Amino acid sequence: MARVPLLGEERNDLAPFIARVKAERGKLINLYRVLMNSPTIAAGWLDFNSIIRYKTSLDAALREMIILRVSLLNGAEYQARIHGASHALHAGLSVEQIAALDHWQDSELFTPAQRAALAWTDAMTRQIDVPDALHEELKKHFHDQAIVEITVLAGAYNMHTRVARALRIEPEQKS
């Protein structure tokens, strides 16, 4: 059970925000139902994450790999369920790739560029400080803009997973 109330349609004062969430995310998900306890944070979160998810140079499959990897490393069922079940498959990841993300280092299902991004994501998530050797490897495959976007995406989903776990946000019930 979430540590703060799950707000919803009863909040007429938040109707424009709720309509925007539904338009951009398909429905009012529990993450936003919790964040609406602070409307300013909820709006800023939606703005920031809409940019990260839809307006970067990263291809959708790489984006979802990074999101899922952070979710796995942080034990975040909420993000793993949302992104594994629908977004990752829609982005072009195979069921086999999704299953291999917990042991990507031993898998041949990922390209050298994807492996560099996953190694970068692992370092950011596990020890925060990223070794220079990983930066050199990432630079072989990505331009500076993409390196910034990969880094911010991994950082944002570290924030996502930590917020969801701290506030005990549960995945939506399947309808």
Domains of the chain in start order, with CATH, are: 12-54 (no CATH), 60-166 (1.20.1290.10)
17 touches 9 (CB < 8 A): no
Work out the average pLDDT over 149-174: 91
Query: For residues 135 and 54, which has the higher predicted lDDT (pLDDT)?
Result: 135
Confidence of residue 172 (pLDDT cuts 50, 70, 90): confident
Distances (CA, A) of 80 to 40, 69, 130, 170: 26, 9, 24, 11
Q: What is the pLDDT of residue 175?
A: 55
What is the residue type of 31? L
Q: What is the pLDDT of residue 174?
A: 64
Is the pTM higher than 0.75? The answer reads yes
- d(CA 58, CA 147) in angstroms, rounded, equals 9
Q: Does 47 score more than 70 pLDDT? A: yes
Task: Summarize pLDDT for 52-106 with one digit per residue, the tens.
Answer: 988 999 999 999 999 999 999 998 877 777 776 678 899 999 999 999 999 999 9
